[in-house]
Homo-oligomer: A and B are copies of this chain.
Amino acid sequence: MANIMKAPGSARVDCETCQARVDGLCAGYSASTVEFISGYRTNDRHLKAGQDLLNLGGPCDAIFNLVDGWMFRYTILADGRRQILDFALPGAILGFDSPLGATITFGAQTLTDVVVCVIPHKALGPLSQRQPDLGLRLAWLMSRERSLSFDHLTSVGRRSAHERIARLLLELFVRSRSGWTGYQIEEMHLPLTQEHIGDATGLTGVHVNRVLRDLGKEGILKFSYRRLSILEPDKLMDLAGIDQELLQSWTGSGRSEARAQGDLAEGCRQAA
């Protein structure tokens, strides 16, 4: 997975080849602009799978640009119940949460080995002075995360267990590919346990298992031991209640030749 990490720990992420430039804060910027932004970085951080990036209750004074690996954000209630809020893929920004110095109210944990590059909150002001569309871009990024969160809220609030799970798996698949036609039979490595899926969908691990088993029996998909196979894309999309265009909004969109409207960088360009 993490080919960037060959030289473990010490190596500094090279902005030229950074995965996060595909669809994140630096997407579509020229080399010189990226260079400029990079000047404000402090040291990268490398984490093993299963670690927390920032600890609950502590302060947070930087944003983290997820360069490689998968993470998730979560809250823990007093009695131990956990809710997973969203999954972060390369290009995600973490740590832009409570304005400055305020204590963190939700955690962020790695699902795989991970690399993040770090930009102190303090740098955001100066950065956005010299690169004025950066603030807007960050705003669009946040807005997209909020939309995703709205989507999850709708799932958990109003959809059946089967719908929720179908939808989540589909979302993660599509986002990890940055797009999908929706017609191909596909397979991928999904670094989640059934417990994770339960905590993300507001269900029990046990119940997730039963549903997964159902979906398997119906030949729609298989998921066990971290391997997901989508066997009947159309049935799955139908069950999940997904229209093709929604698929796009989950990623920066079409990537390739800027599939018209949905693209983040495009959005900023037009707005400017």
Interface size on A, residues (CB 8 A): 68
> 1/0 contact trace for A236-271 toward B, CB 8 Å?
000001000110010000000000011110111011
Contact status B125-A77, CB under 8 Å: no
A222 at the interface (CB under 8 A from B): no
- State the CA gap A101–B102 with chains docked (Å): 36
Contact status B96-A153, CB under 8 Å: no
Contact status B136-A124, CB under 8 Å: yes
Contact status B125-A136, CB under 8 Å: yes
A6 at the interface (CB under 8 A from B): no
Contacts of A134 in B (CB 8 A): 135
- Also in contact, A129 and B272, with CB within 8 A (given A77-B241, A137-B135, A241-B77): yes
Contacts of A135 in B (CB 8 A): 128, 132-139
> 1/0 contact trace for A134-163 toward B, CB 8 Å?
111111111111110110111011110000
How would you classify the secondary structure of chain A's contact residues: helix, strand, loop or mixed? helix
Partner of A75 from B73, B136, B149, B150 at Cβ < 8 Å: B150
| Closest CB in chain B relative to A37 CB, distance in Å | 14
Partner of A100 from B122, B245, B249, B267 at Cβ < 8 Å: B267
Contact status A103-B245, CB under 8 Å: yes
- Also in contact, A249 and B128, with CB within 8 A (given A77-B154, A139-B135, A158-B77): no
Q: List 17 A-B contacts (CB under 8 A).
A: A77-B154, A77-B159, A82-B158, A85-B153, A85-B154, A96-B139, A97-B143, A99-B143, A100-B267, A106-B147, A125-B133, A125-B136, A128-B133, A129-B132, A138-B139, A149-B149, A157-B201
Query: 8 tightest CB-CB pairs across the interface, nearest first?
Result: A135-B135, A99-B267, A157-B202, A125-B272, A142-B142, A135-B136, A139-B139, A146-B146
Q: A78-B241, A145-B146 are in contact. List 12 more A-B contacts (CB 8 A).
A: A86-B150, A96-B139, A99-B144, A100-B266, A100-B267, A100-B270, A105-B246, A124-B136, A146-B149, A149-B150, A149-B153, A156-B156
